[in-house]
Amino acid sequence: MRPRTSVLPETPAMAKQWEIAKRRYLRAGLCHKCAAQAAWAHQPGTGGFKLLQPPCDDCFEIVQLLPRPTSNPVWRQVVRKRL
C-alpha cells in the first residue's frame, strides 16, 4: 500500500486551484506530466517542491528558465498572479 501524502481529502476548491496551476505550467511549455507534478507542489499539505521527481528531459531546460526558485534545486516555479 502506498503512503498517503496528505491526511485530508482534496476539496473542490483545491482541485480547482490545481487545475489553474497546471494550466500555468502548460502555458509555460511543460508537458502534462511535469505540469501536473508542479501544480501538485502548490497544494497545501503535499510537501511542496521538495518531494517532486526531477522534470523530464524535454522539460528540464524550460523549468530552469522559470522565474522563481524553489526549495528543490532542479525545480523553479511560475509566478502566481492574484486577480
**What are the 10-residue block averages of pLDDT along the chain, 83 residues in total?**
62 92 96 96 86 95 95 90 56
Grid cell of 54 as nine digits: 526531477
Q: Using CA atoms, how far apart are residues 59 and 45, in angstroms rounded to an integer? A: 25
Q: Which residues pair with 77 in a beta bridge?
A: 68
Q: What's the distance, Cα to Cα, between the start and end of the chain in Å?
A: 40
- Kindly list the domain boundaries of the chain, sorted by start residue: 30-83
pTM for the whole structure: 0.83
Q: What is the pLDDT of residue 53?
A: 94
**Which of helix, strand or coil describes residue 51?**
helix
